[in-house]
Chains A and B, each alone.
Chain A
Amino acid sequence: MAKLIRTRIDIEGRISEELALVEEPRTTAWDVEEELNVVGKPIPRIDGDQRVSGGARFPSDIQLPGMLHAKFLRSPHPHARVLRVDTSRAEKLPGVRAVISRNNAPTTEWRNSQPIFGDSVRYAGDEVAAVAADNIAIARQAVKLIQVQYEPLTFVLDPEAALRPDAVKLYPNGNLLDGKPDEYARGDVEKAFKQADVIVEGVFETPTQMHNSLETHGSVVTWEGDQLTIYDSTQYIHGVRDRVADWFGLPKNKVRVIKQFMGGGFGSKGSAGKYTVVAALLAKRTGRPVRLFLDRTEENLAAGHRSLSRQYLKIGAKRDGTLVAMELTGYQPLGAYASWGASVGGPMRELYDCKNVRTREYLALTNAGSFAPFRAPGYVEGMFALEVLMDELAVKLQVDPLELRIKNYARRAPISKLPFSSNGLLDAYQEGARAIGWERRGTVGYGRRTVPGGPIRRGIGMASQIWSGAGGPPSYAQVKIHPDASVTVITGTQDIGTGTKTILAQIAAEELGLPLKSIRVEIGDTQWGLYSQISAGSMTAASVGPAVREAAADAKAQLLKVASQFLRVRRKGLTLRDGILRGEKRGKPVETPLADVMGELGDVMIVGHGSRAPNPSNVEIHTFGAQFAEIEVDVETGVVRVVKIVASHDVGRVLNPLTLSSQIEGGVIQGLGFALMEQQLTDANTGAVVNPNLEGYRIPTMLDIPEIEVRMIDRADVRINNLGAKGAGEPPIIPTAPAIVNAVRDAIGISFHQLPLTPDRVLDALEKAEKNAI
């Protein structure tokens, strides 16, 4: 019997309570020591052949008969009133099939009480109108023919400036999101700072980081009567369905969202976009399918970003290294249309055992493109500040930075005081330290030249990681066993590039006792009618995986019952392994291939159902890890070269070490980009982004990549779900930047508070240090 439960969901650091319908579980977690046949093996992706052969159809590849191409007109002004929009010349251009603007679009709210096309524009790139035409060249030309009269307004970009009383207001209620800062406090911070022997403090700044998914945001939509079908490059097919259905006032069963493959998302593709509903409006008006995908420039203006942060931190400690007080005040500009923002205070609140902690975070609405979650939002920025300042504390106390962290290790969750379901942080420290050769630190570090007289300085640094990754209900799955003993696993999840299909096939194969190659996995289509969680917040494996195992267990139970009746063997003792049924008949062993039995059964079909059971409420579930970096600084050019990163992470049971190591390497590489090169730049005079492309916005290339050694703390967390697995997508990006910056300090004795750590910043700091020395 299914029952309704209330469950705590932690997505991207935001905790909420949700209702979920769950069934009585059939399975319990595989034991830590249990020998598994398929799960935990380095199995190549089951859809690899599609991805290497051009056979994978991404949403941007979809072409439908009669399809039109659509394009937005965007504001060149960061803030302006829109006085007049004249689309008449665009409408007359041959090949133009529809033009939509505030003159003829619905005024239904889209975001922040604003319609799709409003009376004001609030960032350079804001949507003003859209055109659908026979091809994209005509659509581009038509957009240029739309005449708009703007009344430019003062604009504000800086988060602290936006909160001053005299700042221009983006909305009548002011620029502070929710009208108040987000505050947290435990203990007595003021008193504790007075009792501290040592205090370190600093102002930290992190850059605006762009997701720059290689496939841009976009949708291809088509109406068949009142049924709307959407091919969307999304991390959440059910989220897109719900948003579009709500906006159009359609029942959910009339909106179908399909996404078989996607070219990256990294958090930015968690809902429907304006492009989705505008494509649907244009398709409705023209009676033709419409494709609306952003181009690379638009992707850099209007598809979200990791907001820059300014963080004021202060840490107080006893002479023996015990942390007594920590305080953070953070500012982030969220852009014009954000409804929530990331919390940079998370690491300070959660990582260390410190009794007195206060965080206060101001999220400001500004005249820029909007915030969208980017892989471990807030924690990447917050961990940078916290872990760099922790190293400065270690310097001041003259203790080993790793020892300082171990000393302040939290045995229980610092906020809730609950025990952790499992915690591999100390193991990650130990593994990582061994792999990097932490003991060499004193011999390669500050002041010691690698080549005597040469410009290269070498250093080693490290940083910690904490993140959620629990996953949870609701998520549902079906497992169907066909008459030829082939199997279809069905869920409503989606693969954002992590290898979801493969791990789900592994889980089903393991539970069923059938070969991996007999299993097909169907995901990425709301038509299956099986809700699954968003593929963000390191949610997918630990949310959907357990539901698949439940469904497989249900199917197997039915199958064994049928087989025992058919073969006239006792149900008890009947097993299925490697596709062979084994049992006992009148004291004699019986062995039959499952395919033979199923073949005899005709068109009998077995359908197993499964749902994700709730998480235990008496423990805190987190992922943990540490990264160690070895770097070289060229003190003549200021170039920082990362030589090696050791990434040591505890994500519970490893389901597939091959795809997991890909995820970890990818996280490290994005963290390296954040540390050394990535930064969106906006002209303070015009409010325009100056590098909205892959030429001016630098992401890591093959030649920027260090040796990356992945060390997994592969231990099943048997208390949390029937797999013992936690999420792994976000943890590996979190500690990379502070590990690199701490290694740079080890090399040249300078601690950097501003990212990215570009050569000019390094040279400036070296010059200043030299002057101070004189």
Chain B
Amino acid sequence: MTDTLIYGPGRTAIKLQINGQEYLLDVLPIQTLAEILRNQLGLTGTKVVCGMGDCGACTVLLDGKPVYACLQLAIDCQGRAITTIEGLARDGELHPVQQAFIAEDAFQCGYCTSGQVLTLVAFLADHPDADAGAIRQAVAGNLCRCGAYPKIVRAGLRARQLTFNSKQ
């Protein structure tokens, strides 16, 4: 396993699997996944807002589970499936949660949206019958300053009815 290896102090070559594709990267052991995604790979849909785990904006999926990419070292992500907001659409069709966010206007500025969407994608995959209360709890760690919360709940509820290839 990766935790038996020692990395650093200099640059280290690692392999990451992101949105179904393999990337060979040269990283410093202290670099976070968020930093690598944004600065090395140009996957800027992942936003860094607080950089200390307070806001959830940088949420990505690691083996299908939401994690804060600003607190996750890139070297620890080897051998795991990373999904970012850019990897949710399938064959050019948006994920049902993304579709529901548009239909319900579940964002204003959109800066927290990637994190909100990914958190809900992971949650609804495990809880397809979740009610409004459960959806609220699921995204309670994702801050939104514009106050799109009521519509994020509605989008979560709506997304349960949607699947790929069944746009409302």
Asked whether B50 lies within 8 Å of A54 as measured between CB atoms, the reply is no
A662 to B43, CA, bound (A): 28
A700, CB-defined interface residue at 8 Å: yes
A296 to B48, CA, bound (A): 10
Query: Among the listed stretches A379-387, A472-480, A702-710, which one makes contact with chain B, having 4 or more residues with CB under 8 Å of it?
Result: A702-710
Q: Who on chain A is nearest to B89 by CB?
A: A53
CB < 8 Å neighbour of A659 from B51, B101, B105, B113:
B105
- Residues from chain B with a CB closer than 8 A to the CB of A663 are 108
Asked whether A699 lies within 8 Å of B110 as measured between CB atoms, the reply is no
Asked whether A497 lies within 8 Å of B49 as measured between CB atoms, the reply is no
Asked whether B151 lies within 8 Å of A662 as measured between CB atoms, the reply is yes
CB < 8 Å neighbour of A702 from B43, B117, B146, B152:
B152
- Residues from chain A with a CB closer than 8 A to the CB of B136 are 702-703, 705
What mask results when residues 109 to 149 of chain B are scored 1 for a CB within 8 Å of chain A, else 0? 11111100100000000000000000011011111111111
Shortest C-beta distance, B119 to chain A (Å), equals 10
- Residues from chain A with a CB closer than 8 A to the CB of B113 are 51-52
A666-B148 CB under 8 A given contacts A214-B49, A296-B49: yes
Shortest C-beta distance, A249 to chain B (Å), equals 34
B73, CB-defined interface residue at 8 Å: no
Report whether over half of chain A's contact residues are helix, strand or loop; otherwise say mixed.
Answer: loop
Asked whether B85 lies within 8 Å of A54 as measured between CB atoms, the reply is yes
Asked whether A666 lies within 8 Å of B108 as measured between CB atoms, the reply is yes
A499 to B139, CA, bound (A): 23
Asked whether B51 lies within 8 Å of A296 as measured between CB atoms, the reply is yes
B10, CB-defined interface residue at 8 Å: no
Shortest C-beta distance, A216 to chain B (Å), equals 8
Q: Who on chain B is nearest to A266 by CB?
A: B145
CB < 8 Å neighbour of A497 from B51, B88, B146:
B146
- Residues from chain B with a CB closer than 8 A to the CB of A683 are none
Query: Among the listed stretches B1-9, B52-60, B61-69, B74-82, which one makes contact with chain A, having 4 or more residues with CB under 8 Å of it?
Result: B52-60
What mask results when residues 35 to 68 of chain A are scored 1 for a CB within 8 Å of chain B, else 0? 0000000001100111111111110110100000
How many chain A residues have a CB neighbour from B under 8 Å? 54
A17, CB-defined interface residue at 8 Å: no
- Residues from chain B with a CB closer than 8 A to the CB of A547 are none
- Residues from chain B with a CB closer than 8 A to the CB of A44 are 102-103, 105
A264-B146 CB under 8 A given contacts A54-B43, A702-B140: yes
A701 to B139, CA, bound (A): 9
CB < 8 Å neighbour of A693 from B54, B84, B88, B110:
B54
A263-B110 CB under 8 A given contacts A52-B101, A658-B105, A668-B147: yes
A261, CB-defined interface residue at 8 Å: yes
- Residues from chain B with a CB closer than 8 A to the CB of A658 are 105
Q: Tell me the chain A residues, 91-145 only, with Cβ under 8 Å from chain B.
A: 135
A702 to B148, CA, bound (A): 9
What mask results when residues 628 to 661 of chain A are scored 1 for a CB within 8 Å of chain B, else 0? 0000000000000000000000000000001101
A80 to B111, CA, bound (A): 37
Q: Who on chain A is nearest to B107 by CB?
A: A51
A56 to B44, CA, bound (A): 9
B86, CB-defined interface residue at 8 Å: yes
A54-B44 CB under 8 A given contacts A44-B105, A263-B111, A670-B147: yes
Asked whether B45 lies within 8 Å of A54 as measured between CB atoms, the reply is yes
Asked whether A669 lies within 8 Å of B111 as measured between CB atoms, the reply is no
Q: Who on chain B is nearest to A665 by CB?
A: B150
CB < 8 Å neighbour of A262 from B109, B140, B149:
B109
A714, CB-defined interface residue at 8 Å: no
Asked whether B140 lies within 8 Å of A701 as measured between CB atoms, the reply is yes
A464, CB-defined interface residue at 8 Å: no
How many chain B residues have a CB neighbour from A under 8 Å? 52
Asked whether B143 lies within 8 Å of A694 as measured between CB atoms, the reply is yes
B42, CB-defined interface residue at 8 Å: yes
A341 to B113, CA, bound (A): 33
- Residues from chain B with a CB closer than 8 A to the CB of A702 are 136, 139-140, 142, 144, 149, 152-153
A526 to B34, CA, bound (A): 32
Asked whether B102 lies within 8 Å of A693 as measured between CB atoms, the reply is no
A735 to B76, CA, bound (A): 49
- Residues from chain B with a CB closer than 8 A to the CB of A51 are 101-102, 107, 110, 113
Asked whether A295 lies within 8 Å of B51 as measured between CB atoms, the reply is yes
Asked whether B85 lies within 8 Å of A665 as measured between CB atoms, the reply is no
Shortest C-beta distance, A259 to chain B (Å), equals 12
Shortest C-beta distance, A380 to chain B (Å), equals 14
Asked whether A58 lies within 8 Å of B111 as measured between CB atoms, the reply is yes
A679, CB-defined interface residue at 8 Å: no
A498, CB-defined interface residue at 8 Å: yes
Asked whether A215 lies within 8 Å of B94 as measured between CB atoms, the reply is no
Asked whether B110 lies within 8 Å of A497 as measured between CB atoms, the reply is yes
Asked whether B105 lies within 8 Å of A53 as measured between CB atoms, the reply is no
Q: Who on chain B is nearest to A214 by CB?
A: B111
What mask results when residues 683 to 715 of chain A are scored 1 for a CB within 8 Å of chain B, else 0? 000000000011100011111010010000000
Shortest C-beta distance, B10 to chain A (Å), equals 14
Asked whether A264 lies within 8 Å of B111 as measured between CB atoms, the reply is yes
A347 to B143, CA, bound (A): 31
A339, CB-defined interface residue at 8 Å: no
CB < 8 Å neighbour of A52 from B94, B109, B111, B143:
B94
- Residues from chain A with a CB closer than 8 A to the CB of B109 are 213-215, 261-264, 496-497
Q: Who on chain A is nearest to B152 by CB?
A: A702
A742, CB-defined interface residue at 8 Å: no
Shortest C-beta distance, A298 to chain B (Å), equals 12
CB < 8 Å neighbour of B147 from A60, A296, A498, A666:
A666
- Residues from chain A with a CB closer than 8 A to the CB of B39 are 63, 135
Q: Who on chain A is nearest to B49 by CB?
A: A214
Q: Tell me the chain A residues, 5-58 only, with Cβ under 8 Å from chain B.
A: 44-45, 48-58
Asked whether A53 lies within 8 Å of B110 as measured between CB atoms, the reply is no
Shortest C-beta distance, B18 to chain A (Å), equals 12
- Residues from chain A with a CB closer than 8 A to the CB of B85 are 52-54
Asked whether A669 lies within 8 Å of B147 as measured between CB atoms, the reply is yes
Asked whether A700 lies within 8 Å of B44 as measured between CB atoms, the reply is no
Interchain Cβ contacts under 8 Å between A and B, 17 examples: A51-B102, A54-B46, A54-B85, A58-B44, A214-B49, A214-B144, A264-B109, A296-B49, A296-B51, A496-B109, A499-B105, A659-B105, A665-B147, A665-B149, A666-B147, A667-B147, A670-B145
Residues of B within 8 A of A (CB): 38-39, 42-47, 49-52, 54-55, 57, 84-86, 88-89, 94, 98, 101-103, 105, 107-114, 117, 136-137, 139-153
Q: 5 closest A-B pairs (Cβ-Cβ)?
A: A54-B45, A263-B111, A669-B147, A497-B109, A666-B147
Residues of A within 8 A of B (CB): 44-45, 48-58, 60-61, 63, 135, 211-215, 261-264, 266, 295-296, 496-499, 658-659, 661-663, 665-670, 693-695, 699-703, 705, 708
